[in-house]
Amino acid sequence: MKKNIFSSLRALGDPSMGRALLKKLETLLGRYGQPLRFMEVCGTHTVSIFRSGLRSLLPPGLTHISGPGCPVCVTHDSEITACLHLAKKTGICLASFGDLLRVPGPDGLSLKDARALGAWVEVIYSPQDAMALARKYRQAQVVFLGAGFETTAPAVAACLRLAKREKLENFYVLSLHKLVPPALRALLHDGDAGTVDAFILPGHVSSILGMEPYRFIAEEFLRPGVITGFEPADIIQALIMTLQTLLENRPAILNQYSRAVSPQGNPKAREIMLEVFRPQNALWRGLGELPASGLTPREDYADFDAWRVFGLEPCETAPPAGCRCGDVLKGKINPPECVLFARACTPAKPVGPCMVSSEGSCAAWYR
Ligand code: SF4
């Protein structure tokens, strides 16, 4: 028995229920008779698994891998470089969520450093806050740094619709959005990460997408995937469901989080998102350029597109020397296998984005 089992079981809410679920999981894994590597692709799952101690409770043979589920972590170096380039321009106010500010660019400087050197960078909590800045500072050009997955893109799209209606001419979005299903496809095609046996699918993203966009995982790659809630008991239950489908030899996409995710997701949110944005190829840290895995404003919204208005292009850049965030995001290594982990790279002085964000794997391992 692991030494933190009692505190971990308390984190499951009801220790007796936790014990029963873990026992069932162990029994099913025994019946399955082979090791199982499962990947979660959601920063909130990463945090929940580490914070609850669930990792240490998993039966031997069940291996947890974190995938590309943290939006700040998957933002490519060349996109960080574009943000830093904009920060140098006079009259531009960058509006960003806090985590992105601390991601070092290829030369080690972050937006936080740029701000200390005089750049106008504001921390905001929603795209609406960025619009409020644009209304307040009419003489400035306010650029919202739009990093996030399908969960945040509809809200950004709604802001662009409103900005167009208001004729808010000094508001722009630098779209860094990423779409989750193309990344899962890329992982399954990748030789090493292809050894992932099952996916714990993101709860928030799925509340927008529903189940359909994940079907290819089961149908083409014969792997199960379970849309899962964020309590430790949810995650154990999802693993039980995973093993049940494997034992029945019927890999499928299942929904453990039905209290929040409907099979069809949120069609209205998708409609707004796709009215304003269209899919385009995007660069992902670790995964490279993936087809139709990002979002760019449609022609009707071109005047709000910071890439276009400010003539920015993603450019070739190298990740920080020694940083293996790319391999961490693909589940090829665990963070401690990076030689910089907990030495040159800590949450107080991060070298790569996976140590910056509270949802990053390296930060979760470190903490
Ligand atoms: Fe990158 Fe730091 Fe993680 Fe190494 S420990 S992979 S340098 S974030």
Res 194: pLDDT:
54
For 205-222, letters b (16+ CB in 10 Å) and e give: bbbbbbbebbebbbeebe
Name the residue among 330, 305, 297, 274 with its Cα closest to residue 67: 330
Give 286 or 158, the one with higher predicted confidence.
Answer: 158
314: pLDDT strictly greater than 90:
no
Longest Cα pair distance anywhere in the chain, in angstroms? Answer: 67
Determine the Cα angle at 47 with ends 42 and 52, to 5°: 130
Report residue 2's pLDDT band, with 50, 70 and 90 as the boundaries: very low
Read off the pLDDT band of 105 (50, 70, 90): confident
Span from the CA of 98 to the centroid of ligand 1 (angstroms): 19
Residue 346 above 90 pLDDT? yes
User: What tens digit of pLDDT does each residue of 222-273 get?
Assistant: 999 999 999 999 999 999 999 999 999 999 999 999 999 999 999 999 999 9
| Residue 237: predicted pLDDT | 94
Return the pLDDT at 317: 77
pLDDT digits (tens, 9 = 90+) for 200-235: 999 999 999 999 999 999 999 999 999 999 999 999
Whether residue 119 is predicted with pLDDT greater than 70 in this model: the reply is yes
Would the pTM of this model clear 0.85, i.e. be above it?
Answer: yes
Nearest protein CA to atom 3 of ligand 1, as residue: 362
> What's the rounded Cα separation, in Å, for the pair 58 and 28?
12
354 lines ligand 1 (CB under 6 A): yes
Q: 117, 86, 81, 80: which is closest to 99 by C-alpha?
A: 80
Instruction: Encode pLDDT of 153-201 as tens digits.
Output: 999 999 999 999 999 999 999 999 999 999 999 999 876 555 799 999 9
Average pLDDT over residues 281-291: 93
| Å from CA of 294 to ligand 1 middle | 24
Whole-number average pLDDT of the chain: 92
Our answer on whether the CB atom of 338 is closer than 6 Å to any ligand 1 atom is yes
Torsion of the alpha carbons at 337, 338, 339 and 342, rounded to the nearest 10 = -100
- Residue 21 Cβ inside 6 Å of ligand 1? The answer reads no
Confidence of residue 313 (pLDDT cuts 50, 70, 90): confident
- Tell me what pLDDT residue 224 has: 97
When computed from its CA atoms, the radius of gyration of the chain, rounded to whole angstroms, is 21
Q: pLDDT by residue (tens digit) across 3-59?
A: 444 455 555 666 788 888 999 999 999 999 999 999 999 989 998 998 888 988 999
- 355 CB under 6 A from ligand 1? yes
Query: For ligand 1, is residue 45 a contact (CB within 6 Å)?
Result: no
Asked if 277 contacts 295 with a C-beta cutoff of 8 angstroms, the reply is yes
Residue 116 pLDDT more than 90? yes
What are 54-92's pLDDT values in tens digits? 988 999 999 999 999 899 999 999 999 999 999 999 999
CA distances from 106 to 192, 238, 317, 322, 347 (A): 26, 39, 7, 12, 18
Cβ count within 10 A of residue 280: 15
- What pLDDT score does 8 carry? 54
Distance 358 CA to ligand 1 centre (A): 13
Residue 322 pLDDT level (bands cut at 50, 70, 90) = confident
Percent of the chain residues past pLDDT 90, beyond the cut: 78
Average the pLDDT over 311-318 and give the result. 80
Residue of 355, 357, 361 to mutate, ligand 1, most atoms within 8 A of C-beta: 355
